[in-house]
Amino acid sequence: MKLSPLVDEGAALSVVEDQRYSRHILVPEISIIGQQRVKAAKVLCVGAGGLGSPVLMYLAAAGIGTLGIVDFDVVEESNLQRQIIHGQSDIGTSKAKSAKRKIAEINPYINVITHDVRLDNTNVMEIFKDYDLIIDGTDNFATRYLINDACVLLGKPYVWGSVLRFDGQASVFWSEHGPCYRCLHPTPAQDVPNCAEAGVLGVLCASIASIQATEAIKLIIGIGEPLIGALIIYDALAMSFRKIEIKKDPECVVCGENPTQKGLLKNYEEFCSPAGATHLSVEKLKIKMDRGDDFLLIDVREASEFEIRRIPGSVLIPLGNFIDGSALKSLPKDKEIILHCHSGGRSATALSILKNAGFRDVTHVEGGILAWAQHIDTTCTVY
């Protein structure tokens, strides 16, 4: 597939820019015209984290004229193993701000726009509309579907990547020329852990991010074979790249022949954890607490762990009492039960024991008290 350049050539380069980008300009496929397109381009990166860091740094160095950053998070020490746009002195600073500062150091000749907000269905269209291309550096399904749907509705290319442990994937979704993310994943995958739960090799982010940045530049200039209708699967342990073809789904609800979804969904979080789901995010747990919902929060860790730190309102019933059945007699069957442990493993076991015993209204907290400490109560001791 050969596409025409995404971005029209803009203003001429200054003498300083000529020098700065000379190694690009020397490449015949890029040349001065290509570099002018890069300068005229407006690229939005959602997330200044593992993928967003190298994406933003390379696109800044490449001379993308306008770089947008969406991130509402603040830099934490556990980010620094892979989120290389941030440094030690940025801990506690907003990621968008920290990224902007670093970019100014890499390339002062470009314009950086920060969107220090949580991307949602009320702001996504307004934020996306001014950009030529959207790059996904997020780590959760709800945001991916949100980005995808907004890109389909606005007709914009969506450069996607994902990383977990030693595995990475990347693709370009653009419903005008090929499949969208929903064509590949019509329904959200359940029980897929994220990097906060399962970990990730830091440098893997650079491998996938560099594919994303490369595809963005190719689309802007209109060179090469875009990664549209294809999925790259990278296995860092085997050091193998596979490229598989992915097709547009004629039944796709947003980009198919008869789309049934003509706008954004009302609630992407809910879409990604449908009724009957057994997981509950710490954010949702907090909302339920603040709302004063009537539920029983059970901590299934050991007493020694409970002593160190606990989620307010939780009662301790160690997993052993579920396994030997002693806990079951005292638990109400007519009340919502929410289980949690350290990171979600033991609570999943307790959950299946309760489900087997006929308890219906029971879920467990995704990521356990670790996620609570990361996202809700950051003063919480992590062990």
Cβ proximity to Zn ion, 43 vs 255, nearer residue: 255
Cβ proximity to Zn ion, 23 vs 262, nearer residue: 262
Residues 251-310 close enough to bind Zn ion by CB under 5 A: 252, 255
Q: How far is the CB of 51 from Zn ion (least distance, A)?
A: 22
Pairing outcome for strands 240-245 and 279-280: unpaired
Binding-site size, Zn ion (CB under 5 A): 5
Q: How far is the CB of 5 from Zn ion (least distance, A)?
A: 24
Distance separating alpha carbons of residues 218 and 209, to the nearest angstrom? 14
Distance separating alpha carbons of residues 135 and 196, to the nearest angstrom? 21
Active site residue 183: no
- 3-class SS shares of the chain: helix, strand, coil, % to 5: 40, 20, 45
Q: CB burial class (10 A; 0-12, 13-18, 19+) of residue 219? A: buried
Determine the residue with CB nearest Zn ion: 252
Q: Binding string to Zn ion for residues 193 to 232, with x set by CB under 5 A, is what?
A: ----------------------------------------
Active site residue 272: no
Residues 241-260 close enough to bind Zn ion by CB under 5 A: 252, 255
Q: How far is the CB of 258 from Zn ion (least distance, A)?
A: 12
Cβ proximity to Zn ion, 127 vs 180, nearer residue: 180
Q: Please give the order of strands across the beta sheet that includes 42-46.
A: 111-115, 66-70, 42-46, 133-136, 158-164, 167-173, 230-235, 240-245
* C-alpha distances out from residue 223 to 170, 220, 247, Å: 18, 8, 22
Dump the DSSP string for 362-376: EEEETTHHHHHHHHT
Cβ proximity to Zn ion, 117 vs 253, nearer residue: 253
Q: Binding string to Zn ion for residues 98 to 127, with x set by CB under 5 A, is what?
A: ------------------------------
Q: How far is the CB of 256 from Zn ion (least distance, A)?
A: 6
Go through 278-294 and write b for each residue having 16 or more CB atoms within 10 A of its CB, e for each that does not.
bbbbbebbeebbeeeee
Among 97, 106, 105, residue whose Cα is nearest residue 75: 97
| Identity of residue 41 | A
Provide the total of helices (H) and of strands (E) in the chain, helices listed first. Answer: 16, 13
Residues 80-99 close enough to bind Zn ion by CB under 5 A: none
Q: How far is the CB of 153 from Zn ion (least distance, A)?
A: 12
Q: How far is the CB of 296 from Zn ion (least distance, A)?
A: 42
Q: Binding string to Zn ion for residues 160 to 199, with x set by CB under 5 A, is what?
A: --------------------x-xx----------------
Residue from 151, 252, 255, 341 carrying the catalytic annotation: 341
Residue from 195, 205, 252, 255 carrying the catalytic annotation: 195
Cβ proximity to Zn ion, 144 vs 182, nearer residue: 182
Distance separating alpha carbons of residues 160 and 148, to the nearest angstrom? 9
Cβ proximity to Zn ion, 103 vs 142, nearer residue: 142
Are 235 and 208 a contacting pair, CB within 8 Å?
no
Cβ proximity to Zn ion, 250 vs 320, nearer residue: 250
H/E stretch holding 354 reads: helix 345-356
Cβ proximity to Zn ion, 40 vs 150, nearer residue: 150
Q: How far is the CB of 252 from Zn ion (least distance, A)?
A: 3
Within 10 angstroms of residue 236's Cβ, the number of other Cβ atoms is: 16
Q: How far is the CB of 160 from Zn ion (least distance, A)?
A: 13
Residues 343-362 close enough to bind Zn ion by CB under 5 A: none
Residue 331 Ramachandran class (φ > 0 left, ψ -120 to 50 alpha, else beta):
beta
Q: Which residues are designated catalytic?
A: 195, 341
Contact positions toward Zn ion, by CB under 5 A? 180, 182-183, 252, 255
